[in-house]
Amino acid sequence: MTSTNHALTALVTGSTRCNGIGLGIAKCLAKNHNMNIILHGTRDGATKEVEKCRGDFAKEYNVSVHYIQADLSTSSGAQQLCEQIDVIYPDGIDVLVNNAGGGHHNLVEDVPLQVWESVLTTNLTSPFVLIKHFITAMKKRGWGRIINISSMFGVRAHAKSAVYTSSKHGLNGLTKAVGKETAGTGVTCNAVCPGYVETELYFKTLEAVVEKDGVSKEEAKTFLMNPTKKLVTPEQIGETVSFLCSRAADNTTAAEFLIDGAHSA
Ligand code: NAD
C-alpha cells in the first residue's frame, strides 16, 4: 500500500532479461502494488522475445505495461529514455528503479579507458540523468520512490573490480545525497546492495574469473559465493524494493540495504 490514490507507475531499467533482477523487481511491484510498469532494455521492442515478455507480463498482472529501448552507456541514451516516457506519462512517474548495470573484471592497469567510461555512464551517470529528470514532478506531487540497485561492491572493494566498485560507490553516494536533499518532501531515495545473485551477470562473472584467473569453475564458485552459501534470488531483491515502496518505509531514506548473506559484515 502506498500513500497516493492514483494508479502508480514504475520505471525499472534493465528489466526484460528472464531471471534478471530487473524483471523480478517489476513483477513484485505489479503483484504487490498493482503498479503500471515501464520495462526497459537494449533490444528492439519489435523482437518476438521482448513483445512476448511485455504481453505475458500485462496478462499475468493485469496492469499497463510499456517497453522502451535505450542504450544507457551514453548519457544521450538516458535522455532519450526520459523523453519517450514523457510522451506516455506527461505528468511523470512515481517510482524509479535504476537497475540496469554491468561490470568489468580486471586489474586497474588493464582496464581500457573506454570500458571505464561506458560502465561509469551505465551504472552512475544514467541513474543521475533519470533522477534529475523525474524528481521535480515527484516532489511536486509529494510522493515518490527512487531505488538504486547497487551492490555489496558499493560499500566494500575487492581486487579486479576497480570500475564496478567505483561506479557502485558513486551510486551509493548519489543515493545518500538525493535522500538528504529530498528528506521531508515525501520522496525517498535508497540503495539496495546485493551480494551474489543468481542471474546471467553472475554467470558471466564466473566465466570471466575462470578465464582470467586460471581457476576451475568449482573454485570460482567457492570464491563467488555469499557466506550463507546461497545465491540471492531476484525475487528477494524485488520484495525489498516492494517494501521500500510501502507506507512502512515512509521514513526510510538515504539508506544502503545490504542483501549479501553477511558478506560485508
Ligand atoms: P543482468 O546482466 O541479468 O541484467 C542487467 C540488465 O541491465 C539487463 O537487462 C541489461 O539489458 C541492462 N543493461 C546493461 N547494460 C546496459 C546498457 N548499456 N544500456 C541499457 N541497459 C543495460 O544482470 P543482473 O544481475 O540482473 O543485474 C541487475 C543489477 O543488479 C545491476 O545493476 C548489477 O550491477 C546489480 N547486481 C547484480 C548482482 C549479481 O550477482 N547478479 C550482484 C549485485 C548487484
Positions marked active-site:
164
pLDDT in tens, 117-155: 999 999 999 999 999 999 999 999 999 999 999 999 999
| Residue 202 near residue 237, CB atoms below 8 Å | no
Tens-place pLDDT, residues 47-79: 999 999 999 999 999 999 999 999 999 999 999
Ligand 1 pocket mutation pick from 201, 256, 257, 263 by most atoms within 8 angstroms of CB: 201
Three-state DSSP class for 109?
helix
Say if ligand 1 is within 6 A of residue 42 CB: yes
pTM assigned to the model: 0.97
Q: Give the pLDDT band of residue 1 (cuts 50, 70, 90).
A: very low
Residue 201's pLDDT is what?
86
Closest CA to 15 of 37, 48, 46, 44: 37
Residue-level pLDDT at 4: 55
Q: What is the pLDDT of residues 195-225, one digit of tens each?
A: 999 999 899 989 989 998 899 999 999 989 9
Three cell numbers, residue 233: 534470488
Residue 263 grid coordinates: 558478506
Segments of the chain assigned to CATH 3.40.50.720? 9-195+233-258
| The CATH number of domain 9-195+233-258, selected from 3.40.50.720, 3.30.460.80, 3.30.9.10, 3.40.630.10 | 3.40.50.720
